[in-house]
Amino acid sequence: CRVHHYKFNVVMKNSTKLCSTKPIVTVNGMFPGPTLYAREDDTVLVKVTNHVKYNVSIHWHGIRQLRTGWADGPAYITQCPIQPGQSYVYNFTITGQRGTLLWHAHILWLRSTVHGAIVVLPKRGVPYPFPKPHKENVVVLAEWWKSDTEAVINQALKSGLAPNVSDAHTINGQPGPVSGCFSQGGYTLPVKSGKTYLLRLINAALNEELFFKIAGHKLTVVEVDATYVKPLKTDTVVIAPGQTTNVLVTADQNAGKYLVAASPFMDAPIAVDNVTATATLHYSGTIASTPTTLTKPPPQNATAVANNFIDSLRSLNSKNYPAKVPQTVDHNLFFTVGLGINPCPSCKAANGSRVVASINNVTFVMPTTALLQAHFFNISGVFTTDFPGNPPNVFNYTGTPPANLATTRGTKVYRLAYNSTVQLVLQDTGIIAPENHPVHLHGFNFFAVGKGLGNFNPKKDPRKFNLVDPVERNTIGVPSGGWVAIRFRADNPGVWFMHCHLEVHTTWGLKMAFLVDNGRGPNQSLLPPPSDLPKC
Ligand code: C2O
């Protein structure tokens, strides 16, 4: 196994999109940032140096970080941020994982421009469980605001209202021509007739799930969130922020140019956003003037298209890649996720109130000392372990919301015994509006064993759970006005963040953390922190 050394310099850089220029926070001056390559079982050391005015931290989204929570990255959860002028070396080993993941800033809204791909290849000599592609391409999808994204969220927090939606989406950093700025270029994906390509799709957007489509071409999904799936043929992929999807595409159409489109999916759109990012699939040898064949992206609220795709995904569950679904449950948890309204005397625009978000009615309050440090060094007063395992007030989650929409505030964690098995039902409350919440769990992969619309029925619904080959992920959409059930084994000691990967909801408080105790055996406890761990 090899050791890879990377240098990530966080620097400002001017970037021009949509015919206007603004300074953005980047890694090494790139948007999207550099791709991190490794193989399964390799060790990666990334020295992150902060040259900007903001505090910074980087998260390696989906990397399990077995016993190395110190390298996970969420600010004030596993580490204090890297202050301006300081650096920190993220040191981790990639155990039992291969596939596409992403890295991104995990503080403020810096993720909007500070993100990039992680490509973990199988161990040397181990083939993919699908035909070897001619070439592989990383395709990073994201959002772009004309204004500074920190200003966008700060203004929203002041007003108590929701922030503006982005001005465009991007495919590998480029929106393609959009109304008002037709000179804007687009990404080109070169292909050769008859060859098959592996596209490593990543949704690095802040707040929007996206549909991805290529005109005239079928996509075969072979992996999601760095876990292999049964090959799934589809016209359209739907991908939530934080999720990754590997697809095979064969250049089997008439030579020419074909439109590639990334467009928003919001099943209950509060804000209208019809902006589609475009790129071009270009057969080599085709004359540039050949017109692009058009593709119609699904409408913004095409819930059926999205559900049809999501519900069809299954773990590969082969001899070499068995789905290790926990068959028994030690912790049976039920968490509501959704929005709420709290008083805010200074929020004039929202009539003295503000939109908040919560899990089991707890709006998470960020601590000023990292939870993992408080846990490891036994610092009291940073968090409490009374996060409720069930909703304190039961109500009809998908019907009329309760009269009182206020939430409680606190820095609460839920404690799990080492190696215990967890079943967690995540129920959308539909308060203010039903919304699809892509929930991400740090430190683990989980199996999505069940999903449904309306209120979860604890008597009937578990009978229909798939405990054989459910899809394994690190980020799952809680359906709008419905629920999803996940299972995982708490075999990674430490403090692990769980939150909605729509950044606006995270900011509003849709987040919590699990504290997993050390085991008693060898190699079952959290390792001590590295000496350069940032101080608060
Ligand atoms: Cu990709 Cu806690 O996030």
What is the tens place of the pLDDT at every residue in 182-197?
778 899 999 999 999 9
The 3 state secondary structure assigned to 146-157 is CCCHHHHHHHHH
1-126 has which fold? Immunoglobulin-like (2.60.40)
Query: Which residue, chain included where needed, has tokens 């995540």?
Result: 426
331-516 has which fold? Immunoglobulin-like (2.60.40)
Query: Does residue 287 register a pLDDT over 90?
Result: no
Is the CB of 104 inside a 6 Å radius of any atom of ligand 1? yes
Is the CB of 443 inside a 6 Å radius of any atom of ligand 1? no
Rounded to the nearest whole angstrom, what is the distance from the C-alpha of residue 275 to the centroid of ligand 1? 25
Is the CB of 59 inside a 6 Å radius of any atom of ligand 1? yes
Extract the tokens encoding 60.
């390696």
Q: Give bridge partners of residue 453 from the DSSP assignment.
A: 482
β 244-250/219-224 pair status: antiparallel
- CATH class of domain segment(s) 130-315: mainly beta
Query: Which residue, chain included where needed, has tokens 């009329």?
Result: 400
Among candidate residues 505, 518, 495, the one with its CA nearest the CA of residue 74: 495
Average pLDDT of the chain?
Answer: 95
Neighbours of 190 (CB within 10 A): 14
Among candidate residues 261, 260, 262, 149, the one with its CA nearest the CA of residue 203: 262
Is the CB of 367 inside a 6 Å radius of any atom of ligand 1? no
Q: Is the ipTM of this complex over 0.95?
A: yes
pTM, rounded to two decimals: 0.97
Is the CB of 499 inside a 6 Å radius of any atom of ligand 1? yes
User: In sequence order, what are the residues at sequence separation of 6 or more whose Cβ sits closer than 8 angstroms to the Cβ of residue 302?
Assistant: 211, 265
pLDDT band of residue 449 (cuts 50, 70, 90) is very high
Q: Is the peptide bond before 32 cis (omega within 30 degrees of 0)?
A: yes
Rounded to the nearest whole angstrom, what is the distance from the C-alpha of residue 47 to the centroid of ligand 1? 19
- Cα–Cα dist 211/219, whole Å: 13
List, for residues 412-431, the tens digit of each pLDDT value. Answer: 999 999 999 999 999 999 88
Q: Which stretch of DSSP H or E encloses residue 506?
A: helix 503-508
List, for residues 313-368, the tens digit of each pLDDT value. Answer: 999 999 999 999 999 999 999 999 999 999 999 999 999 999 999 999 999 999 99
Contact 68, 486 (CB under 8 A): no
Rounded to the nearest whole angstrom, what is the distance from the C-alpha of residue 532 to the centroid of ligand 1? 22
Is the CB of 111 inside a 6 Å radius of any atom of ligand 1? no
The closest-lying atom of ligand 1 relative to the alpha carbon of residue 241 is 1
- Cα–Cα dist 215/282, whole Å: 11
Rounded to the nearest whole angstrom, what is the distance from the C-alpha of residue 346 to the centroid of ligand 1? 30
- Cα–Cα dist 249/235, whole Å: 11
- Cα–Cα dist 188/35, whole Å: 18
Closest residue by Cα to atom 3, ligand 1, is 61
Is the CB of 505 inside a 6 Å radius of any atom of ligand 1? no
Q: What is the mean pLDDT of residues 6-31?
A: 97
Query: Range(s) for CATH 2.60.40.420 in the chain?
Result: 1-126, 130-315, 331-516
The closest-lying atom of ligand 1 relative to the alpha carbon of residue 73 is 2
Is the CB of 242 inside a 6 Å radius of any atom of ligand 1? yes
Q: Give bridge partners of residue 118 from the DSSP assignment.
A: 36, 101
The closest-lying atom of ligand 1 relative to the alpha carbon of residue 475 is 1
